[in-house]
């Protein structure tokens, strides 16, 4: 049996490092139905689902768990929930509805989101929603309705204490330094730490557990965390090799998230590093001289990291860069503007780019219907002029 | 049919109608009359008559058939030198009509081509030199590679003087029955920075509101055509709200399709209006210059402009 299951906390005092979340969520239950739902959000392995079960245990409630992917199947959802929502439980007095992986509801799954909102409105019992990242725009209505409970990354010392108590109960011994290593490496993820400890205890040379993640693919969020939060080390120079993403994309992620981490002097330094990286990127493209990539990489990793003073704490909800998408969407919207500028440009012997830049004044000239006829503007183009 | 777009309606069609550029016009006219023009390179600022003179040349050479013997291309609009070469090839395939032994190709904004593309252009010019004459236009002749320069007769266009632009405005004003206050002429000239085409566009834009061209109206129109919210962006930055400044900047670049270099120009001017100490203004100006340099060297103007905004945030905090 996995230790994470075996030692999953049942009571409040067993769930370590989340005092704030515990008291917030207890208040929520005490005040129910002032708000009908609360959201547990935070990085993996901080105890979100566990806290839901602990609350159920401590308040003698029955947990009714549904996965966000079930929301799409309206029939199934109704069938599962309906009796529970309206009747009292036979076994237990109270119920808690737990919806897991809410951030798994995709952008295109409006139905699922609407169904979830309906579910909350009609629920007779508290609804707990669990998500890693709930800050996308599409979740705004959910956030407004719900009590927000943040689960923070667990401090490595707390993780270490928990690891020690697990070892004691297993009657095992692990070297103190290795315990610290495992706790630090987990970066706030209690579940990962306990899993690592269990694996290490079965290994011939347990210390190998620490260099395990060399070959592992790092996801971009972890990479950002390393760069933005930790002290700059030379290992950062190889960091992006293990991120499965082209350098141009990584640059956009960095750009999007610098202002979330750095302020003032740090902000300026980090942007200076980014700006220099972009200059090398430009030189790579223009001169097709790929060795410049070395400098782009160093500036984007070590350079960004060294822009801060000390280290950063806490959890940051890194945002996905959407600039390219926005540009694309804007291009779709301004396609008509472009075609008008093109016609005008060809007619008066100037370049299209200049016509685009001077569009405000051109638009005024096009107020004259005769000129619109002269340029043979199409209906859609005339409509564009009318509506802008 | 006479165009209702004034830049077309009042575009000079004869050498004698050209305004300013007296020296250039005289020499080009005599070359044209001799029916044996070399390749030409027109260098000079926007709106000083480069395209107009090219059109006058072909109209003089070919009369009513000029459209069949003239190809106009814009280097900054075409997708790469290969498209330019392909179009030239198709155009040059047929011989010219009439008694002129060549056709004319006008390549506007030739300095938008990279040096490599210009090398390719040079070969194209050589290949078709028996049947085609090229007129290249550019803002700066230094951006044109030497081998092309040496194959062309170079003509430098000056920025139009105020008296020249005044003449143009007066003529249009009379014809279109406008009342134009003397100060309005002043503002139109300043607002168009010697660019005659822009000046006429501004005049027509203003006239589309009212035939009475008052200074106030002209000023309003001009400020409407400038990157408006640059000040708003800088204000957000100075007050320490980097994220708002960044969003607004992106918005301007996106919705008004203003290039990074135009924005830099506007920011540089706006520095004098923001409430910071003189030595910080100097520092910010230097930063702005550095940013302009990096925009040219780099790949992504938005990244560079954000870096500049970060400096404004710091300036707002009174540190450096």
Nearest CA among A69, A125, A78 for reference residue A101:
A69
Judge whether B121 and B81 are in contact, CB under 8 Å: yes
Looking at beta carbons, which residues of chain A come within 8 Å of B7?
348
Looking at beta carbons, which residues of chain B come within 8 Å of A334?
257
Looking at beta carbons, which residues of chain A come within 8 Å of B246?
259
Q: pLDDT tens track of chain B, all 320 residues?
A: 678 999 999 999 999 999 989 999 999 999 999 888 899 999 999 999 999 999 999 999 998 889 989 999 999 887 778 888 888 888 988 877 778 889 999 999 999 888 888 998 999 898 888 889 999 999 988 889 999 999 999 999 999 999 999 999 999 999 999 999 999 999 999 888 889 999 999 999 999 989 999 999 999 888 877 666 888 999 999 999 999 999 999 988 887 777 888 899 999 999 998 888 899 999 999 999 999 999 988 989 999 999 999 999 999 887 54
pLDDT in tens, B70-112: 999 999 887 778 888 888 888 988 877 778 889 999 999 999 8
Longest Cα separation, chain A: 92
Decide: residue B23, CB within 10 A, 0-12 exposed, 13-18 middle, 19+ buried. Answer: exposed
Nearest CA among B304, B12, B312 for reference residue A280:
B304
Decide: residue A85, CB within 10 A, 0-12 exposed, 13-18 middle, 19+ buried. Answer: middle
- Tell me whether strands A37-41 and B132-138 are parallel, antiparallel or unpaired: unpaired
User: Would you call A255 and B306 a contact, using CB atoms and an 8 Å cutoff?
Assistant: yes
Residue found by looking up tokens 């097709």 in the block: A288
Bond preceding residue A33 cis, omega within 30 of 0: yes
Of B77, B197, B225, the CB nearest to A353: B77
- Give dist(CA B92, CA B130) in Å, integer: 10
Mutation site for B-interface testing, chosen from A264, A274, A278 by largest number of B Cβ within 10 Å: A278
Judge whether A127 and A119 are in contact, CB under 8 Å: yes
Judge whether A216 and A226 are in contact, CB under 8 Å: no
Q: How confident is the model at residue A214 (pLDDT cuts 50, 70, 90)?
A: very low
Which of helix, strand or coil describes residue B107? strand
Check: complex ipTM more than 0.95: no
pLDDT in tens, A132-176: 888 888 889 889 999 999 999 999 899 999 999 999 999 888 888
Q: Is the dihedral of CA B136, B138, B140, B145 positive or negative?
A: negative
Looking at beta carbons, which residues of chain A come within 8 Å of B306?
255, 271, 274
């Amino acid at each position: 049996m996995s230790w994470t299951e075996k030692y999953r906390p049942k009571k409040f005092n067993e769930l370590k490092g989340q005092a704030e979340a515990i008291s917030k969520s207890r208040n929520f239950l005490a005040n129910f139905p002032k708000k009908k739902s609360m959201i547990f959000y935070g990085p993996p392995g901080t105890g979100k689902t566990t806290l839901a079960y602990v609350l159920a245990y401590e308040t003698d409630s029955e947990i009714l768990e549904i996965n966000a992917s079930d929301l799409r199947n309206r029939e199934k959802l109704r069938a599962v929930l309906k009796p529970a929502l309206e009747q009292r439980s036979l076994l237990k007095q109270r119920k808690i509805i737990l919806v897991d992986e809410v951030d798994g509801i995709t952008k295109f799954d409006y139905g699922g989101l609407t169904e979830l909102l309906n579910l909350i409105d009609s629920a007779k019992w508290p609804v707990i929603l669990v998500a890693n990242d709930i800050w996308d725009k599409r979740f705004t209505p959910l956030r407004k309705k719900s009590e927000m409970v943040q689960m923070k990354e667990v401090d490595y010392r707390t993780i270490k204490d928990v690891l020690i108590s697990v070892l004691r109960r297993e009657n095992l011994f692990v070297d103190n330094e290795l315990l610290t290593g495992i706790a630090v490496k987990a970066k706030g993820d209690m579940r990962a730490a306990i899993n690592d400890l269990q694996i290490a205890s079965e290994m011939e040379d347990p210390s190998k557990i620490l260099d395990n993640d060399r070959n592992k693919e790092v996801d971009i969020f972890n990479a950002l965390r390393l760069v933005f939060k930790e002290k700059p080390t030379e290992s950062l120079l190889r960091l992006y090799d293990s991120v499965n993403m082209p350098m141009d994309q990584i640059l956009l992620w960095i750009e999007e998230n610098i202002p979330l981490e750095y302020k003032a002097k740090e902000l300026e330094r980090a942007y200076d590093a980014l700006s220099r990286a972009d200059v090398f990127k430009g030189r790579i493209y223009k001169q097709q001289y790929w060795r410049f990539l070395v400098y782009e990489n160093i500036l984007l990793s070590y350079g960004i990291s060294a822009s801060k003073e000390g280290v950063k704490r806490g959890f940051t909800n890194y945002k996905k860069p959407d600039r390219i998408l926005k540009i694309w969407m804007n291009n779709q919207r301004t396609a008509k503007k472009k075609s008008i500028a093109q016609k005008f440009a060809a007619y008066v012997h100037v370049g299209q780019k200049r016509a685009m830049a001077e569009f405000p004044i051109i638009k005024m000239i096009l107020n004259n219907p005769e000129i619109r006829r002269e340029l043979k503007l199409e209906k859609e183009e005339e409509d564009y002029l009318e509506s802008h | 049919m006479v165009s209702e777009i004034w830049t077309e309606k009042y575009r000079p069609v004869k050498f004698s109608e050209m305004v300013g550029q007296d020296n250039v016009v005289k020499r080009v006219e005599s070359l044209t009359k001799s029916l044996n023009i070399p390749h030409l390179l027109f260098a000079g600022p926007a709106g000083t008559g480069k395209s107009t003179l090219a059109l006058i040349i072909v109209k003089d050479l070919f009369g009513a058939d000029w459209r069949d013997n003239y190809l106009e291309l814009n280097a900054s609009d075409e997708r790469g030198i290969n498209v330019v070469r392909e179009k030239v090839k198709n155009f040059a395939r047929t011989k010219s009509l009439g008694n002129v032994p060549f056709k004319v190709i006008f390549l506007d904004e030739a300095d938008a081509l990279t040096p490599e593309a210009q090398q390719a252009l040079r070969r194209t010019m050589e290949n078709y030199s028996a049947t085609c004459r090229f007129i290249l236009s550019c803002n700066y002749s230094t951006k044109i590679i030497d081998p092309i320069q040496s194959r062309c007769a170079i003509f430098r266009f000056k920025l139009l003087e105020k008296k020249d632009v005044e003449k143009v405005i007066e003529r249009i004003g009379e014809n279109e029955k406008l009342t134009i206050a003397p100060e309005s002429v002043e503002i139109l000239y300043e607002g168009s920075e010697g660019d005659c085409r822009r000046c006429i566009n501004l005049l027509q834009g203003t006239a589309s509101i009212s035939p009475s061209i008052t200074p106030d109206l002209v000023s309003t129109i001009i400020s409407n055509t400038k990157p408006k919210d640059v000040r708003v962006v800088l204000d957000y930055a100075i007050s320490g709200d980097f994220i708002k400044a960044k969003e607004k900047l992106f918005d301007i670049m996106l919705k008004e399709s203003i290039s990074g270099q135009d924005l830099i120009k506007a920011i540089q001017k706006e520095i004098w209006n923001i409430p910071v100490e003189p030595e910080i203004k100097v520092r910010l100006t230097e930063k702005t210059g550095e940013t302009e340099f990096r925009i040219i060297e780099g790949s992504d103007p938005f990244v560079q402009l954000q870096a500049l905004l970060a400096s404004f945030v710091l300036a707002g905090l009174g540190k450096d």
